[in-house]
Structure 1
Amino acid sequence: MDGASGHLHYPWETAPGEAEAITVAKGVLWIRLPLPMALDHVNIYAIDEGESWTVVDTGVKTRRSVEMWQKILAGPLQGKPVSRVLLTHYHPDHVGMAGWLMERGAELVTSRTSYLTARMLILDVEEKPTQQAVDFWVSAGMDEAHLEKRKSERPFNFADLCAPLPVGFTRLQQGDVFHAGGRAWDVHMGYGHASEHVTLWSRDDHLVIAGDQIISSISPNIGVYPGEPAADPLSEWLESCDRLALLARDEHLVLSGHKLPFYGLPHRMQQLSENHIHALDRLVEHLDRPRVASECFAPLFKRRVDEGIYGLALVETVAHLNHLLVTGRVTRERDPDDAWLWSAV
């Protein structure tokens, strides 16, 4: 779901070009890597340690990404090695090149959940959908055309876009202080988009490295997946928004995983929470008669749900329905096709 940005200020109107960098603060470079998907880029940040660099997030592993990383190492990073890779979370657009950099001597720093989940998913290669995945799609009321197509296709695997992740990492936990680039960064975990998502808040100036937990003009996907079909990540998201909002100041410069760096963090934190609260209210109104999840896109998304985003829309819709179930605002029962029919209380 998209969020408005009326009270946000963007100090940069354009992003860095290919294999280029923009200095966003003393010793902090903003670099952008391409993604082979609808959201066509990911932001990474390089923090100057003097003789080396700490890099935050890495992009996916493709031939083009490897070529760009070689140019980045020789160009903006001045030939100095990457001594540490900090992963904000385990999604492939952030973890994809971490193993490649570790092979070249970098230490991995992240939360335990991010490391274990990334390593598990990179090792878990599936040639066909599991029965659990098919059951989940059926329960969500996936239409017949999408269902048959997905059942016949090889599913996406993390290994398709991620280098192997070696054993060994340094753990970050809530309340830790991480030292990088001459700054002390307070570690605060976010939840909802990804469990134990690392955000960094500088004590020495007004920088926030937010990953996908806080983005300016889009709301990160909050989805329920076959691995935990009864999950309620939206509760975790709303709790994180409330908790992180207490830290937010207008003078914070937010460095996100996508889109542009921005000021106006208190307003954005309010938006990120309210977007979903209002969406839940619209969804309850939409459930004036029983509907399956795939019939509930309209109140949640402000654009047409096409093939490119159908899967993300479905898992986000289930997340909102699960939250309404947990909070007692809807009920559900199986229909003859074994899909959940959701109704407002």
Structure 2
Amino acid sequence: MKSMILAKQSQGHQQHRLLEYPLTPPKADGSVVQVAEGLLWLRMPMPMSLDHINLYLLEDHDGWYIVDTGLNNDITQQLWLTVIKQYCNNKAVKGVICTHFHYDHSSLASWLMATFNVPLYMTHGEFYTLKTLSNNAAALGGDNQLDFYHRAGLPREELEVIIKICRNDPFIKFSPPSFNRLREGDVLSIGKRRWQIIIGEGHSPEHACLYCAADKLLIAGDQVLPHISSNVLVSELEPQGQPLKNWLRSLEKLQTLDPDTLVLPAHGPVFRHLQLRTQQLLEHHCQQLDILRAFAQRGAEFNAYQAMKQLFKRSLSPIDSMMALGETLAHLNWLESNNELLCQRKTDSGVNCYSASRSPLTAENTL
């Protein structure tokens, strides 16, 4: 899931204008744009505020690899059949590569595998997270989840609306039957290109990016996007997790790539100036941390839901609220691990309470 609700800090907003967008995006109707020889960019529609996903086709000597799938619905299935027929030069589909488990990237994997009789390539962490969540969809609203959101201070009536929406989500139930594992540093030789697997964390457990150093091409998935910041959230599955720390570390890894790299994201236009964009994202999260630091220094105890209201001041939909609260918890966990916040977890109300710490900062996490 992507966060459409992150406000850009003013400096980052000005820098954003310096990103370069060398290609006009395809329409989400089965059209394609050739990014380079043997590399096609297409879009599939999505019936939500984020109304498209970018997908890519990689040409091998005897067939094509699909990178990410789109949503599992009739429209996307028919568009895939049209695209393969019109643009794949009578070559077969050879495989499906999913960058990560989120269902706009993976929910059609089983259908593509069965339709074209091909394998799936995915990292271990993404495949098994997808399998776990799809198998446990019926457990939404269980005691562990209810307790997690109660401890965060989310009002029960808001939580009930969120759970109802999630239970009615038509895409959460799909997961593929098997996969071939991708690991950090693996190389996929496809056509004339060698695509190195770079693993990112934070937005998802083991997000796979594909990097061709020779041609300076990065298929980035959701690890770095040009217009929005990928959602980095804590959930009931790992309440003390450090996704923000892992995501910032992953951005720093991407900053080491060639400055002229052309970035092929999952949403928004293809762009250049990767290091500029990663710096914008780092600065944005530094600003979010500063807001929470200032809130804590006011002296009163607060819960995660109250902290969320400091970071996200506009009106939010129920699902945006769930993502915003998870992202707020990611920042609170980071500050707590950095000894900047104390968290009292044994309270009469059962709600976790935060307050500023007087302990010195640790060098490892300081931003």
- Given the two structures, how large is their TM-score scaled by the length of structure 1? 0.92
1:242 aligned to 2:252? yes
Deviation at 1:306, TM superposition (A): 3.3
Verify the 8 A CA contact 2:28 2:52 in the aligned structure 1: no
| Correspondence for 1:60 among 67, 71, 75 | 71
Alignment of 1:241-260 (within 5 A): 241-249=251-259, 251-260=260-269
Alignment partner of 1:185 out of 192, 195, 201:
195
The question of 1:221 aligning with 2:231 is answered yes
Among candidates 42, 54, 61, match of residue 31 of structure 1: 42
C-alpha displacement of 1:265: 0.7
2:59 maps to a residue whose letter is: D
After TM superposition, the structure 1 stretch with the greater mean CA deviation from structure 2, 298-307 or 313-322, is 298-307
SS of residue in 1 equivalent to 2:271 = coil
Equivalence for 2:60: 49
Deviation at 1:30, TM superposition (A): 0.7
Structure 2 portions without partners, runs of 5+: 1-5, 358-367
Task: State the partner residue of 2:354.
Answer: 342
Q: Does the CA contact (< 8 Å) of 1:62 and 1:161 recur in 2?
A: no
Shift of 1:159: 7.1
Native 8 Å contact 1:189 1:196 kept in 2: yes
> How far 1:244 sits from its partner (Å)?
1.9
2:269 is matched by which residue type in structure 1?
L
Are the equivalent residues in 1 in contact too, given 2:44–2:54 (CA < 8 A)? yes
Indicate if the aligned counterparts of 1:254 and 1:265 stay in contact, CA closer than 8 A.
yes
Structure 2 distance, partners of 1:46, 1:162, is 26
Q: Contact 1:183–1:202 at 8 Å: present in 2 too?
A: yes
Q: Distance in 2 between matches of 1:318 and 1:78?
A: 49
5 Å-filtered alignment, 1:120-199, equals 120-126=132-138, 128-150=140-162, 153=164, 155-156=166-167, 160-161=171-172, 163-167=174-178, 169-199=179-209
Q: Structure 1 pair 150/194, CA: closer, same or farther in 2 (3 Å)? A: closer
**Structure 1 SS opposite 2:42:** strand
3-state DSSP of counterpart to 2:287: helix
Provide the residue aligned with 1:108 in structure 2: 120
Is it true that 1:73 corresponds to 2:122 in the alignment? Answer: no
User: Equivalent residue of 2:87, what SS?
Assistant: coil
Comparing 270-279 with 227-236, which one deviates more in the overlay?
270-279
1:304 lines up with 2:315 in the alignment: yes
Q: Check the 8 A contact 1:192/1:237 in 2, yes or no.
A: yes
Which ranges of structure 1 fall in alignment gaps of 5 or more residues?
none
2:71·2:103 contact (CA, 8 Å) conserved in 1? yes
**Comparing 304-313 and 216-225, the one that deviates more:** 304-313
In the alignment, the residues of structure 1 paired with residue 174 and residue 159 of structure 2 have an alpha-carbon distance, to the nearest angstrom, of 30
On the 8 A contact 1:56/1:86 being kept in 2, the answer is yes
Work out the CA distance in 1 between the residues paired with 2:319 and 2:191. Answer: 39
Q: Flag the 1:154–1:327 CA change in 2: closer, same or farther, 3 A.
A: same
Q: For 1:158 and 1:177, how far apart are their aligned partners in 2? A: 36
2:300 is aligned with 1:323: no
Cα drift, residue 128 of structure 1: 4.5
Percent identity, aligned pairs only, is: 33
**Cα shift at 1:277:** 1.6
* 1:204-237 per-position Cα deviation (integer Å, ceiling 9, x unaligned): 2111111000111111000001111111111111
Change (3 A) 1:181 1:304: farther
Q: Return the alpha-carbon distance in structure 1 between the equivalents of residues 155 and 263 of structure 2.
A: 40
* Contact 2:184-2:197 at 8 Å conserved across structures: yes
What is the TM-score when the length of structure 2 is the normalising length?
Answer: 0.87
Paired position in structure 2 for 1:99: 110
CA distance in 1, matches of 2:244, 2:327: 9
The aligned counterpart of 1:88 is: 99
Q: 1:301 to 1:128 in 2, by over 3 A?
A: closer
Report the Cα distance in structure 1 between the residues aligned to 2:313 and 2:189, rounded to whole angstroms.
41
Deviations 1:114-161 (A, max 9, x none): 12222232233316411111111101111243034346x273488735
TM-superposed deviation, 1:164: 4.1
Asked if structure 1 preserves the Cα contact closer than 8 Å seen for 2:61 and 2:190, the reply is no
CA RMSD of aligned residues (A): 2.1
Distance 1:305 1:163 in 2: 27
Q: Structure 1: which amino acid aligns with 2:236?
A: P
> Within 1, Cα distance between the matches of 2:266 and 2:71?
13
Aligned residues: 342
